Amino acid sequence: MRISHRARAVAPFYAMEFGKHAAALEAQGHHVVKLNLGEPDFGAPPAVRNAMREVMDGRPMAYTAALGLPALREAIARFYLDRHGIDVDPARVVVTAGASAALVLATAALVDPGDEVLIADPSYPCNRQIVESFGARVTLVPTTAGTRFQLDAASVRSHWTDSTRGLMIATPSNPTGTSVPAGELAALCDLARERDAWRIVDEIYLNLGDDDRGRPPRSALSYDPDAVVINSFSKYFGMTGWRLGWCVVPEPLVPAMERLAQNYFLCASAPAQHAALTCFTPESLAVCEARRVEFAQRRAIVLDGLERIGLPVPVPPDGAFYVYFDVTGTGLTSWQFCERALREAYVALTPGRDFGVHTAETHVRLSYAASADELREGIARLEKFVASLR
Ligand SMILES: Cc1ncc(COP(=O)(O)O)c(C=O)c1O
C-alpha cells in the first residue's frame, strides 16, 4: 500500500515507544517504574467519575454542537474569570478532543503551506508534526537554561524571517516543566502581534503551576486577548483518557474553527463533556488544588534524589510535572541512558531526542506524575544504576 509522504514524514513519539518496551517487560513479570509518560496517577476527581456514571444511564448519547456543549463552554469561561480574573466570552471557547485536537484545529485554521512557525527546542514534539502536516515549515529555536529552555524575545527576533507567520509556545513546558517568565511572555506576544503573526500558547499545565506571589500563574490571555490559548482536562483535572480539552480563540477565528471541527471531529466526546461540567464545582476544584500541592511534594522527592545521584537539573520545574536532567556526566548519551535504565533498572524515562535536537543527546525527561512511592523506588533504582556506571 502506498503511504502518504505526510504520514511517512511523521516521527514516532519516543515516550510512547519506550512505553511499549516497558509494557513488554511488565508482561514478562518485571515491575517497571514508569516515569516516561505525562499521565497523572490520580484520575478524574471523584465527583466527575460519579457524574459520568449518572450520565451513562442508558440515554442515547447524541453528538453535541461542534464547538461543544454551551453549558461547558460557559463553565470554562467562568473558570477563567474565577481563577484568573479574565473575562472570556463563552462564544470564544471551543471544546475539543483533548488539547491535541485543539492544536490540530488551531493549526489548520492558521497555517498555510510555506508558512514558517517558530517553536522552542526542546518542546512538545507533536506540535511540529502537526504544523508540518499542514505544509508549513517549523524552525526550531535552540534554547538554553539561561532562558529556562523557553523562547525569549531576543532569540525569536533573531530567527524571524519574511516567511514567519506564527509562534507556538507551551508554558509551562513539556519536557522541562518550566514557564516563560510573565514579562517575557508579554514581550513575545507583543513582538508577534506587531508583526501581524499569530501566537498559539499551550497552557495545558498552567493550572498546575506554582503561585505567582500568592496568585495562580497568569494566562497569556491576561496580556494578549488575541492569543490562541490551548488547555485541557487531561492534566490539572487528571482526565487523560477522557479526551477532552479546549481552546480560547479570537472572535474572528470562531467560524473557521467551527467549520473545521464539524468536518474533522463532529464534536468532542459527549459523555465526557456532560460529566466534565462537574470539574468546576468547588468540591472538584479543591481536589485538584490538593493534587497540585502533592505534585510539589513529588517534585521535591525527584529534585533531591537527582541531586544526590549527581544528575544535574539545569532549571528546576515550576509547573508541569517534568524534570529535564543532564546525563553528560554519566558518559552515556540520553538515548543510551534511557535504554539501559529500562533494561537494567526497569525505570522508563524519555530521551531528549523526542523534544528537539539541541539537547537531544544530553538530556532526559523524567515525569513525576507517578505516585510518591513509585518515585522513591525509581530514584533508588536510578541511584544504583548510575553507581554501576562509575
Ligand atoms: C504541551 C502539551 N500539549 C498538549 C498535550 C496533549 O494533551 P491532551 O491529552 O489534552 O491531548 C500534551 C500531552 O502531554 C502536552 O504535554
Tens digits of residue pLDDT in 270-318:
999 999 999 999 999 999 999 999 999 999 999 999 999 999 999 999 9
ω into residue 282 within 30 of 0, thus cis?
A: no
Q: Could you tell me the distance, in angstroms and rounded to a whole number, from the CA of residue 204 to the centre of ligand 1?
A: 7
Is 3.90.1150.10 the CATH classification of the domain at 5-44+284-389?
A: yes
Q: According to CATH, where is 3.40.640.10 located in the chain?
A: 58-280
DSSP string, 240-300: GGG--EEEE--GGGHHHHHHHHHHHTSSS-HHHHHHHGGGGSHHHHHHHHHHHHHHHHHHH
Classified by CATH at the fold level, domain 58-280 comes out as Aspartate Aminotransferase; domain 2 (3.40.640)
Residue 124 alpha carbon to ligand 1 centre in Å: 8
How many CB atoms sit inside 10 A of residue 387's CB?
10
CA-wise closest residue to 296 among 323, 326, 325: 323
Whether the per-residue pLDDT at 18 is higher than 90: the answer is: no
128, 119 Cβ separation under 8 angstroms: yes
The whole-angstrom separation of Cα 388 and Cα 128 is 37
CATH 3.90.1150.10: which residues of the chain? 5-44+284-389
| Phi, then psi, of 264 in degrees rounded to 5 | -85, -40
Q: CB within 8 A of 320, min separation 6: which ones?
A: 38, 172, 173, 174, 176, 177, 178, 205, 208, 209, 235
Mean pLDDT of 157-165: 97
Is the pLDDT score of 15 beyond 80? no
Q: Could you report the per-residue pLDDT of 327-377, keeping only the tens digit for each?
A: 999 999 999 999 999 999 999 999 999 899 999 999 999 999 999 999 999
Cβ atoms of residues 288 and 298 within 8 Å: no
Q: How many CA atoms lie within 13 A of 111 on its CB side?
A: 30
How far is ligand 1, taken at its centre, from the CA of residue 16, in Å? 13
pLDDT tens figures, 59-85: 889 999 999 999 999 999 999 999 999
Please name the residues in contact with 27: beta carbons below 8 A apart, sequence gap of 6 or more. Answer: none
The pLDDT tens digits for 108-154 are: 999 999 999 999 999 999 999 999 999 999 999 999 999 999 999 99
Render pLDDT for 204-253 as a digit per residue (tens, 0 to 9).
999 999 988 888 889 999 999 999 999 999 999 999 999 999 999 999 99
Looking at the DSSP bridge assignments, the partners of residue 142 are 121
Query: Residue 255: pLDDT above 90?
Result: yes
Pocket-testing residue among 232, 233, 242, 265, ligand 1, by greatest number of atoms within 8 A of Cβ = 232
Contact present, 179 and 129 (Cβ < 8 Å): no
